[in-house]
Amino acid sequence: MRVVGKPLAKVDARAKVTGSTLYADDLIFSDTLFCKLLRSPHPYARIKHMDLNAAKAVEGVVAVITGNDLPVKYGILPISQDEHALESEKVRYVGDPVAAVAAFDEETAALAAEKIRVEYEVLDPVTSIEEALSEPTDEPIHDYGGPANIHKMAALSFGDLEAGFAEADHIREDVFFYGGNTHLPMEQHSAIATYVNGKLTLWSSTQTPHYVHRTISKVLDLPMQAIRVVATPHGGGFGGKTDPFSHELAVCKLAMVTGKPVKCTLTREEVFYAHRGRHPVLMWVRTGMKSNGRITAMHFKTALDGGAYGSYGVATMFYTGALQTTTYDIPAYRFEGARVFTNKAPCGPKRGHGTPQPRFALELHLDKMAEDLGLDPVEVRRRNYVSPNTTTVNWLRITSCGLEEITDQVLQASSYVNRQRAVGHGMGFAVASYLCGAGLPIYWNKLPHSECLIKLDRGGVTVYCGATDIGQGSDTVIATLVAEELGLWPSDIRLVTGDTGFAPVDLGSYSSRVTFMAGNAALDAARKLRNLLAEVAAESMGCLPGEIVTGDGKFGTLSFEETTQLAQERFGAISTVGSYRPPDLAGPYKGSGVGPSPAYSYSAAVVDIDVDPETGIIKVNKVWLAHDIGRSINPVSVRGQVEGGVYMGLGEALMEEQAYRKAMPKQPSMLDYKSLTSVDMPEVETILVETDDPEGPYGAKEVGQGPLLPVVPAVVSAVHDALGVWIDQVPVTPDKIMKALDAKAKGQAPRFGPKSFPDIAYPQYVKVDTPHVATQAI
């Protein structure tokens, strides 16, 4: 291959290093108005009355709107349509938007928003999972779900759990808590809308232009064809820009009301309120094991603090139980999950969506079981690894799987097995797995998940695809795949992406689906185009199309331009289309929509730390990360994703936390919400393992999310290695380590973490037939 797998420059890098890339907040149109949202100062309150007069009277104000102007409910999932762009009856968290002002400048809009008088009747806020589970003092936060403030519950059972536990030589239970955290993209959300000739256009820093498009159509009651959503170049998403947001809908409405372009850029504090970050999850796990380390049964329970709205939460809840089985062959498995509403900023999907939390619990739980049985924690894992081309007990189809290889390589590179043992120094090992795109779309239908159109004419090659580059490099992947097929360089390809008006649909940059799905759609279209070109080139050269070799801008002996001309003389206008829809992968049970993916990536991490027993302060010395990438389309980009994932995993393990005092966000600023600086970041050694996935484009799998996952448990495992204490709660701040050391010194359990798991009235579990016999003997 000529361009696939080569360390070529990203197609958008040059514009970014010169400052010429236009992000959403850099856009400005003639006569643009500026919008400011008024947000609730109360975590939970009924709106009694709103008086807009003083705001409207401010000089420079053009329009003020409230929930009455945007009465239609929406939500990213069809089953949780529970948000209004602006609430008019009830506010559910500090920061819930209630009104929007458009004015000649941002200062005036802010001033006017402050003059809106809102009379609230304050209600008693629900601030924790425990409170949400018990009978509320005031009415429940939403009028659906329940009992109490439970949003959604699930209970699934695969295989014979009781028999599995009966067979075990050792059974252990643990409780873990994963603190919530947020995406903190460097770019604050921003959107600008125009309404001209009955057509609405929105430019927004969104990861999911298609779903924003759908939502605008619903909320503003506009036909789909009257809307165009453009995902602008992105200053970071990580899942934080995958929901439709109030400010997006507000600028659309205000553009329609005023007839002028309207722009809204959130302040950093507002980004913390918009949130949709990692759910705090309380977890309980019970596992049965043979004395040789083979798992016989596992029972996993989760409780998610969802915050004020549904968002992706139902999917998140299912994800907390879905991927335990994609690394370990668990013959009998039961999952019970519950998501609750609380009066805090809504949680949603963040890098790894719903899986870092259970992965953290699972990996540490296995470490503890290994310790109980006097076994090597790595061996215990190996004994249970899934094999390629198998189906898990919960009906997930595993194809390519490089678990063994990544384990070998990461252990070897890090010398984990022969590590130096000293108090205060430790190393930890963990593995994980992630999806290459959700197997099922958000709206269940049989339509393609990704479509691509390639136009060829005298202007060269232009690729149109709805995929959205959020910095992960999806434009580069698409250009590289098309260039490979056509014998060009990625920089020869013009791209129109992330634009619902001009490019065919792609569902969005979430669930690590773009390389796999948009990549396959682009390949489909590119191969069709290549065939057309090869046909005319072969005819001209007097050979068979199969004999045409492409590369360096040539089709056989013809130049690409000559071939294009011949093809157009022969066929007239030329364009080809391609699409991708994953195979039907859902298992035969309700709730099986979450978890299936056309392929799974695998990651293994070793973390080396020093931790001072006098202070509890951790210094991370180095991280080794081996990743089963299938095949890397661009090794520089892949390495960047691994390093970025490791960075974010370390942040979550050590310091990142969306903390609250009751219902008040405690640290909504970049100073107080701690993220690693360059001096806090250790060296990362990236090891790529290529397993050539049979369905991935050129064998490629995902890398955007997976590498984050094993880092978090590996850090905690290293702390245990260093000091002999378990920190069963992240982030692992130094005070927690000191508390665990205190407990150890007093002869109590050497740990810090939640003491118990609440009694949750999960529904009677659904018993699902298993698709398989265990791939390994028990």
Partner 1 sequence: MSDSVIANFDVNGRSREVLVKPYHTLLEILREDLGLTGTKHGCELGECGACTVLVDGLPQLSCLLLPHQVEGKEITTIEGLAEGDELHPLQEAFVEAGAVQCGYCTPSMLLTAKALLEGDPSPSRQEIAEALSGNLCRCTGYEAITRAVELAATRMDT
Partner 2 sequence: MLRLKPFRYLRPAGAEEAAAIVAEFDGEAMLVAGGTDLVPKLKRRQMEPSILVGISHLEELRSLRSTPEGGMEIGAAITLAEVTRNKDLEMHWPGYVQAASLVSSPPLRNLGTIGGNLMVDTRCNYYDMTYEWRQAAGFCLKKDGDACRVAPARPHCWAVSSSDTAPVAIALDATAVLAGPEGRREVPVESLYQDDGIHYTTKQPYEVVTSLHFPPRAGWRSSYVKLRRRGSIDFPIGGAAVALVIEGGRIIDSRIVLSGVASHPVVAVEAASYLVGHSLDPELVAEVADHAAKPVKPLDNADLAYTWRKRMVKWLVTQAVLEAGK
Q: Does residue 106 bind partner 2 (CB under 8 A)?
A: yes
**Alpha-carbon gap, residue 620 to 362, rounded angstroms:** 22
Are the C-beta atoms of residues 207 and 468 closer than 8 Å to each other? yes
User: Quick count: other Cβ atoms within 10 Å of Cβ 29?
Assistant: 14
Per CB under 8 A, the list member of 13, 58, 532, 586 interacting with partner 1 is 13
Per CB under 8 A, the list member of 83, 187, 475, 695 interacting with partner 1 is 187
Task: For the CB of residue 702, give the shortest distance to ligand FES in the complex, in Å.
Answer: 19
Q: Does residue 123 bind partner 2 (CB under 8 A)?
A: no
- Residue 473 binding result from ligand FES, partner 1, partner 2, none, given CB thresholds of 5 to 8 Å by partner type: partner 1
- Residue 238 binding result from partner 1, partner 2, ligand FES, none, given CB thresholds of 5 to 8 Å by partner type: partner 1
Which span (9-17, 297-305, 540-548, 608-616) binds partner 1, by CB under 8 A?
Answer: 9-17
Total residues contacting partner 2 by CB under 8 A comes to 34
Residues 6+ apart with CB under 8 A from 247: 35, 37, 97, 100, 189, 191, 264, 266, 274
- Residue 713 binding result from ligand FES, partner 2, partner 1, none, given CB thresholds of 5 to 8 Å by partner type: none
Residues 6+ apart with CB under 8 A from 48: 119, 120, 121
Beta strands per DSSP E along 205-270: 227-231, 262-265
Task: For the CB of residue 271, give the shortest distance to partner 2 in the complex, in Å.
Answer: 12
**Alpha-carbon gap, residue 122 to 48, rounded angstroms:** 10
Question: Sign of the CA dihedral 554, 555, 559, 560?
Answer: negative
User: Which one, 87 or 469, has the nearer CB to ligand FES?
Assistant: 469
Per CB under 8 A, the list member of 36, 189, 228, 234 interacting with partner 1 is 234
- Residue 655 binding result from ligand FES, partner 2, partner 1, none, given CB thresholds of 5 to 8 Å by partner type: partner 2
Which span (55-63, 370-378, 532-540, 664-672) binds partner 2, by CB under 8 A?
Answer: 664-672
- 261-280 binders of partner 1 (CB under 8 A): 267-268
Beta strands per DSSP E along 278-381: 281-289, 295-305, 333-340
Task: For the CB of residue 680, give the shortest distance to partner 2 in the complex, in Å.
Answer: 5
Query: Interface mask (CB under 8 A) for partner 2, residues 38-57, using x and -?
Result: -x-xx---------------
Question: For helices 209-219 and 246-258, what crossing angle results, to 10°?
Answer: 50
User: Which one, 645 or 696, has the nearer CB to partner 1?
Assistant: 645
**Alpha-carbon gap, residue 526 to 495, rounded angstroms:** 13
Per CB under 8 A, the list member of 197, 678, 756, 764 interacting with partner 1 is 678
DSSP state of 487: T
Q: Does residue 60 bind partner 2 (CB under 8 A)?
A: no
Which tokens in the block code for residue 533? Answer: 């070109």
**Alpha-carbon gap, residue 25 to 270, rounded angstroms:** 15
Q: Does residue 678 bind partner 2 (CB under 8 A)?
A: yes
- 250-309 binders of partner 2 (CB under 8 A): 265, 267-269
Which residue is listed with tokens 């370990």? 328
User: Which one, 422 or 671, has the nearer CB to partner 2?
Assistant: 671
- 721-740 binders of partner 2 (CB under 8 A): 733-735, 738
> Interface residues with ligand FES (CB under 6 A)?
186, 236, 471
Task: For the CB of residue 48, give the shortest distance to partner 1 in the complex, in Å.
Answer: 34
User: Which one, 337 or 707, has the nearer CB to partner 1?
Assistant: 707
Task: For the CB of residue 586, give the shortest distance to partner 2 in the complex, in Å.
Answer: 44
Task: For the CB of residue 674, give the shortest distance to partner 2 in the complex, in Å.
Answer: 5
Beta bridge partners of 277: 347
Q: Does residue 188 bind partner 1 (CB under 8 A)?
A: yes
Longest dimension (CA), the chain: 87
Query: Interface mask (CB under 8 A) for partner 1, residues 613-652, using x and -?
Result: -----------------------xx-xx--xxxxxx----
Beta strands per DSSP E along 500-617: 550-551, 554-555, 558-559, 574-580, 600-611
Which residue is listed with tokens 């008006």? 501
**Alpha-carbon gap, residue 320 to 338, rounded angstroms:** 10
Question: Cβ-closest residue to ligand FES?
Answer: 186
- Residue 18 binding result from partner 2, ligand FES, partner 1, none, given CB thresholds of 5 to 8 Å by partner type: partner 1
Q: Does residue 683 bind partner 1 (CB under 8 A)?
A: yes
Short-list 487, 635, 611, CA closest to 556: 487
End-to-end CA, the chain: 43
- 620-659 binders of partner 2 (CB under 8 A): 655
The whole-angstrom distance between residue 387's C-alpha and the CA centroid of its chain comes to: 26
Beta strands per DSSP E along 573-682: 574-580, 600-611, 618-628, 660-661, 664-665
Please give the C-alpha separations between residue 603 and each of 98, 225, 401, 709, 715, in angstroms, as whole numbers: 43, 42, 10, 8, 15
Are the C-beta atoms of residues 168 and 356 closer than 8 Å to each other? no
- Residue 683 binding result from partner 1, partner 2, ligand FES, none, given CB thresholds of 5 to 8 Å by partner type: partner 1
Total residues contacting partner 1 by CB under 8 A comes to 55
Give the neighbor-by-neighbor strand order of the sheet with 766-768: 729-730, 170-178, 281-289, 295-305, 333-340, 150-158, 766-768
**Alpha-carbon gap, residue 762 to 751, rounded angstroms:** 28
User: Which one, 236 or 754, has the nearer CB to ligand FES?
Assistant: 236
Query: Interface mask (CB under 8 A) for partner 1, residues 464-493, using x and -?
Result: ------xxxx--------------------
Are the C-beta atoms of residues 361 and 285 closer than 8 Å to each other? yes
User: Which one, 187 or 524, has the nearer CB to partner 1?
Assistant: 187
Residues that bind partner 2 (CB under 8 A): 39, 41-42, 94, 106-107, 110, 265, 267-269, 614-616, 655, 661, 664-669, 671-672, 674, 676-680, 733-735, 738
Interface with partner 1 (CB under 8 A): 7, 9-10, 12-14, 16-23, 25-26, 183-188, 233-238, 267-268, 470-473, 636-637, 639-640, 643-648, 669-671, 675-679, 681, 683-684
